Amino acid sequence: MRLTLTAAVLCCVAIGAANADQVVTCTNDDNSSKTSFLLKGLKDTPSEILWPWSGSLRTFAIKEYSDAHYTAIEQEPEREDAPGNIFINRLDGKVVVENYISHEARKVLVGLCNGEITEDDCKKEQEGLIGGNVPACNLSKDKETNCGRWRNGSNLLSKFSYSCVPGQRSF
């Protein structure tokens, strides 16, 4: 009986080692939401991250990795000048996701920040832009931080921080 149990454990460990895809479960740092993503690739050389976002699935290619971190950039973003980034700290499980808008959309937001256009005008212009973001026209939250960043040429729209742990696939 003991031999059978050992053989079963060895079987499953070997299968698990061959399948390097790993589900990661995350909680937003303000504990408001949970999400999961899939880390794909060979066991010691991950290649991509599949991240569910607003009803779709975003694919990020891992550009840098070490024993301590992964850095990934979004593949096929809405606009070439607006790929998202993911930074994963493998030591403490912290994950940061950065979302970007196109530089054209950023210029519209700068116009709003400078009082050159109204919020309604901003929304209309953002609707017509690929890589735009209509909700960004509501500047009530972090107005000074966002406007300062956009005026200085950054097209960073939002940054989300998560605490993550290894998870399991649902099926």
Quick: pLDDT tens for 64-110.
989 999 999 999 888 888 999 999 999 999 999 999 999 999 999 99
pLDDT of residue 13: 33
Query: 19 pLDDT exceeds 70?
Result: no
More confident residue, 18 or 128: 128
Name the residue ranges covered by the structural domains of the chain: 21-100+160-166, 103-151
Query: 34 pLDDT exceeds 80?
Result: yes
pLDDT of residue 78: 83
Exposure string (b/e) for 32-55, b if CB count within 10 Å is 16 or more?
eeebbbbbbeeeeebebbebeeee
The pLDDT-based confidence of 20 (bands split at 50, 70, 90) is: low
**What is the chain's mean pLDDT, rounded?**
85
Mean pLDDT of 117-129: 95
Whole-structure pTM value? 0.80
The pLDDT-based confidence of 143 (bands split at 50, 70, 90) is: confident
The pLDDT-based confidence of 15 (bands split at 50, 70, 90) is: very low
